[in-house]
């Protein structure tokens, strides 16, 4: 069986890759070159977690462990070869929902583990999960997820509250995290 730490690492890598893929898809909208694909993938993939680490004064997660950058580059290459065409928008939305739900939990968990109060941890979860997409939309000059009349921040908020709330009353991280992930993804899925 995987240990919790190893599972979290894989979850984290998967969320980075999935967010990175949405960044590459945003680049694809304008038929950019492969380098811009990679750049958007990296900015979107690690943007939220970078903000989180800077705010809680932790070493920025990808600087010492470039595996995360590799995950973004791989995501960009995959999107480059198979990514666009019919249904791209839908795929983008679903990938984004998965990444958002995972990042909400990972962001709040890391803040809690470094001693942040619950309310700050909730905000950190929301920022981690939305900031990458905000950067992507601003740089790709798309209407921001914040301005689309859709349930996005609300989904992250719901997931973060469920996770941090369960964690505060002593539920094991794996269970609290799964519940938070399911909540964020479920609320978002209902709006797609």
Binding piece for a copy of itself, criterion CB under 8 A, among 76-84, 98-106, 133-141, 176-184:
133-141
Q: Which of 55, 82, 84, 53 is nearest to 68 (CA)?
A: 53
Output phi, psi for 127, to 5 deg. -65, -45
20 close to 71: Cβ distance less than 8 angstroms: yes
Phi-psi domain of 151 (left: phi exceeds 0; alpha: psi -120 through 50; beta: other): beta
Structure tokens at 47: 């943007």
Query: In sequence order, what are the residues at sequence separation of 6 or more whose Cβ sits closer than 8 angstroms to the Cβ of residue 178?
Result: none
Q: How many residues bind a copy of itself (CB under 8 A)?
A: 42
Among 17, 18, 21, 69, binds a copy of itself (CB under 8 A): 69
Give the whole-angstrom CA distance, residue 37 versus residue 73.
Answer: 8
- Exposure letters 132-142 (e unless 16+ CB within 10 A, then b): bbbbbbebbee
The answer to the question of residue 190 lying near a copy of itself (CB under 8 A) is no
Q: Which of 3, 5, 57, 82 binds a copy of itself (CB under 8 A)?
A: 57
Single residue of 4, 7, 89, 146 touching a copy of itself by CB under 8 A:
146
Q: Determine, following the binding rule CB under 8 A, whether residue 87 of this chain makes contact with a copy of itself.
A: no
**Binder to a copy of itself among 54, 172, 174, 175 (CB under 8 A)?**
54
Q: Does 77 bind a copy of itself (CB under 8 A)?
A: no
Total length of the chain: 192
**14, 91, 134, 191: which one binds a copy of itself (CB under 8 A):** 134
Residue 78 binding a copy of itself, by CB under 8 A: no
Binding residues vs a copy of itself (CB under 8 A): 30, 32-33, 35-36, 39-40, 42, 50, 54-57, 59-60, 62-64, 66, 69-70, 111, 116-117, 119-120, 123-124, 126, 134, 138-141, 143-144, 146-147, 149, 153-154, 157
């Amino acid at each position: 069986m995987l240990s919790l730490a190893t599972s979290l690492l894989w979850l984290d890598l998967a969320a980075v890759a999935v967010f990175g893929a949405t960044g590459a898809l945003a680049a694809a909208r304008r038929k950019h070159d492969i380098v811009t694909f990679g750049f958007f993938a990296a900015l979107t993939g690690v943007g939220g977690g970078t903000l989180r680490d800077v705010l809680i004064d932790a070493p920025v997660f990808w600087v010492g462990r470039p595996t995360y950058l590799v995950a973004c580059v791989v995501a960009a290459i995959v999107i480059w070869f198979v990514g666009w065409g019919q249904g791209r928008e839908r795929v983008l939305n679903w990938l984004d929902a998965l990444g958002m739900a995972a990042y909400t939990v990972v962001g709040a968990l890391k803040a809690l583990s470094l001693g942040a109060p619950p309310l700050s941890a909730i905000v950190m979860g929301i920022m981690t999960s939305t900031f990458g997409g905000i950067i992507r939309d601003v740089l790709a000059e798309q209407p921001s997820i914040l301005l689309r009349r859709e349930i996005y921040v609300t989904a992250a908020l719901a997931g973060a509250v469920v996770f941090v709330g369960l964690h505060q009353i002593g539920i094991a991280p794996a269970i609290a995290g799964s519940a938070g992930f399911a909540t964020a993804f479920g609320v978002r899925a209902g709006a797609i």
